């Protein structure tokens, strides 16, 4: 029995060591990439894009289901963006609250007759509305079919060659689209999708759909999510994007070439529709030998509302893990398959062995450490595991906070950085074990064939 326990301990230690080395490599890549990008002047590279002749027109899709509290500020924020030619299409996906009524009243919507080519199958569209005061604002009223169905309906109605999906509770910075579209414009079609950063709006002061003052929530759960988002976007996605290995473009803020998305069949009806679409695009590109890229741009920022209660955060993380597993399973033939190049040999193995299996191994590690206090395991192994978990769960998060301060500097007060730095030190000891448990429950729920998003409570980002 002792030999078995010792073997398990060494396996977990070896696994965590490999994960830490991989993350360290991504961190170094991200540091060099961010340094390269932000040595440029902050405004000059984007001035030309304000002229229509240099830019590409964009359709902004906003799926909304029971978003009464946040939908008006979100649309207002989109109306104030700096971009030469765009349209906004809000898709009311059968909301049971007064989302549709608020949109009609606020923007003076009138029902119109619009010829729509049904390129993607969707639930029945009950009506298409256009604002009488903002002629490039449209609202689709349709039967409930889920976020994927709503986005597919928006793609059908959209007029322009690129579209951006934005969550109905999100606020975008004014120059976000100039920055997220720049790689697409500069590449002359070689880049077919881009994703921007998503940040937590809780605690910030918002007026008329614009961030007036960036703040930090007093809720420890929200603060930890701020750190988690910094780590995921600044370290994880910058590192993967550098070599076209990105498999996730956030559903809260991502731009896609409509031609390629329609070619692969649009969004699928999965829990993790955003990741599944990106994996399917990569698969399609490799099978067609098309030399296209999907990239992440760190600077354009979308602010969104984070769950403030543990029950809703648990549901969110559970859903994310189910979406991850569902996407990986649907495209399992790509994994370790040289036919799909670096996506098959690096990206898919990374998401399987680290993102999917990571919570299982971490949970085993926490249980192993706990068993030390009741006897039966080696003290040296337990202490080594604690050290590795602190490096993986806290040190990398601290470095992500420092990268934020060094590069983007979205949090203006030194106190904010100090709070983030302090909380990142505590991550290993309370927050990370919670998310590990919730993600493992998500794996179990997939095996139980549980589906659906689960209810989420919204306060509204305008609060």
For the chain, the structural domain boundaries read 1-458
In whole angstroms, give the CA distance from residue 187 to residue 323: 31
Distances in whole angstroms, Cα of residue 173 to Cα of each of 93, 160, 364: 25, 22, 41
Predicted pLDDT of residue 50: 63
Predicted pLDDT of residue 132: 96
CA neighbor of 137 nearest in space, from 112, 170, 119, 117:
112
Strands of the sheet containing 109-112, edge to edge, are 109-112, 125-131, 137-142, 86-93, 58-64, 162-166, 253-257, 191-200, 293-304, 170-172
In whole angstroms, give the CA distance from residue 82 to residue 62: 18
Question: Pick the residue with more confidence: 287 or 450?
Answer: 287
Question: What are residue 448's phi and psi, to 5 degrees?
Answer: -85, 0
Predicted pLDDT of residue 406: 74
Predicted pLDDT of residue 379: 78
In whole angstroms, give the CA distance from residue 334 to residue 287: 11
CA neighbor of 296 nearest in space, from 199, 228, 198, 196:
196
Lowest mean pLDDT among 118-127, 234-243, 257-266: 234-243
Through-space distance between the first and last CA atoms of the chain, rounded to whole angstroms: 56
pLDDT digits (tens, 9 = 90+) for 9-50: 899 999 999 999 999 999 888 888 877 765 544 555 666 666
Predicted pLDDT of residue 259: 96
Predicted pLDDT of residue 60: 96
Question: What are residue 295's phi and psi, to 5 degrees?
Answer: -125, 160
> What integer is the mean pLDDT of 127-140?
96
Distances in whole angstroms, Cα of residue 205 to Cα of each of 101, 175, 216: 26, 19, 10
Predicted pLDDT of residue 51: 62
> What integer is the mean pLDDT of 379-400?
89
In whole angstroms, give the CA distance from residue 114 to residue 93: 18
Beta bridge partners of 128: 112, 140
Question: Pick the residue with more confidence: 219 or 206?
Answer: 219
Predicted pLDDT of residue 40: 47
Whether the per-residue pLDDT at 227 is higher than 90: the answer is yes
Q: How high does pLDDT run on average in the chain?
A: 89
Q: Would you say 443 and 325 are in contact if contact means Cβ atoms under 8 Å apart?
A: yes
Predicted pLDDT of residue 235: 84
Whether the per-residue pLDDT at 336 is higher than 90: the answer is yes
Predicted pLDDT of residue 454: 58
Q: Where are the alpha helices (DSSP H) in 288-354?
A: 310-330, 341-342, 348-350
In whole angstroms, give the CA distance from residue 368 to residue 361: 10
Distances in whole angstroms, Cα of residue 327 to Cα of each of 304, 364, 447: 24, 24, 14
In whole angstroms, give the CA distance from residue 52 to residue 67: 32
Whether the per-residue pLDDT at 192 is higher than 90: the answer is yes
Give the pLDDT band of residue 463 (cuts 50, 70, 90). very low
Rg of the chain (C-alpha set): 22
pLDDT digits (tens, 9 = 90+) for 292-328: 999 998 887 888 889 999 999 999 999 999 999 999 9
Q: Which CATH architecture has domain 1-458?
A: Alpha-Beta Complex (3.90)
Spatial CB neighbours of 262, under 8 Å, sequence gap ≥ 6:
119, 120, 155
pTM, entire model: 0.91
In terms of residues, how long is the chain?
A: 463
Predicted pLDDT of residue 343: 96
Most confident of 86-100, 360-374, 412-426: 86-100
> What integer is the mean pLDDT of 321-337?
95
| Three-state secondary-structure class, residue 99 | helix
């Amino acid at each position: 029995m002792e030999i078995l326990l010792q073997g398990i301990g060494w396996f977990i230690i070896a696994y965590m060591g490999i994960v830490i080395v991989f993350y360290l490599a991504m961190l170094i890549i991200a540091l060099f990439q961010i340094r390269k990008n932000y040595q440029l002047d902050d405004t000059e590279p984007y001035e030309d894009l304000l002229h229509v002749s240099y830019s590409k027109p964009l359709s902004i899709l906003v799926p909304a289901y029971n978003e009464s509290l946040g939908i008006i500020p979100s649309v207002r924020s989109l109306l104030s963006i700096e971009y030469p030619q765009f349209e906004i299409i809000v898709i009311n996906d059968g909301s049971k609250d007064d989302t549709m009524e608020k949109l009609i009243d606020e923007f003076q919507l009138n029902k119109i007759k619009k010829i729509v080519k049904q390129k993607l199958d969707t639930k029945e569209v009950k009506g298409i509305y256009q604002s009488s005061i903002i002629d490039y604002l449209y609202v689709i009223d349709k039967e409930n079919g889920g976020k994927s169905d709503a986005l597919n309906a928006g793609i059908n109605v959209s007029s322009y060659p690129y579209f951006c999906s934005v969550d109905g509770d999100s606020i975008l910075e004014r120059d976000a689209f100039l920055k997220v579209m720049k790689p697409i414009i500069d590449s002359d079609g070689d880049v077919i999708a881009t994703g921007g950063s998503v940040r937590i709006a809780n605690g910030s002061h918002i007026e008329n759909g614009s961030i007036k003052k960036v703040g930090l929530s007093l809720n420890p759960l929200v603060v930890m999510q701020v750190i988690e988002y910094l780590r995921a976007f600044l370290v994880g996605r910058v590192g993967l994007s550098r070599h076209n290995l990105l498999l996730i473009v956030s559903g809260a803020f991502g731009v896609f070439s409509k031609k390629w998305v329609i070619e692969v069949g649009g969004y699928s009806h999965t829990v993790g529709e955003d990741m599944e679409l990106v994996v399917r695009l990569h698969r399609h590109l490799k099978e067609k030998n098309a030399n296209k890229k999907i990239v992440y741009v760190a600077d354009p920022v979308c602010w969104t509302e984070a769950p403030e209660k543990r029950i809703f955060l648990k549901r969110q993380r559970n859903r994310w893990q189910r979406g991850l597993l569902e996407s990986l399973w649907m495209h399992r033939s790509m994994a370790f398959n040289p036919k799909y190049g670096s996506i098959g040999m690096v990206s898919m193995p990374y998401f399987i062995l680290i993102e999917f299996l990571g919570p299982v191994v971490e949970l085993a590690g926490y249980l192993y450490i706990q068993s030390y206090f009741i006897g039966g395991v080696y003290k040296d192994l337990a202490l080594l595991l604690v050290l590795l978990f602190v490096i993986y769960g806290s040190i990398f998060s601290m470095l992500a906070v420092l990268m934020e301060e060094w590069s983007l500097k979205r949090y203006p007060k030194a106190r904010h950085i100090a709070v983030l730095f302090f909380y990142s030190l505590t991550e290993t000891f309370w927050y990370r074990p919670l998310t590990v448990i919730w993600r493992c429950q998500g794996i179990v729920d997939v095996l139980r064939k549980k589906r659906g998003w689960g209810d989420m409570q919204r306060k509204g980002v305008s609060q």
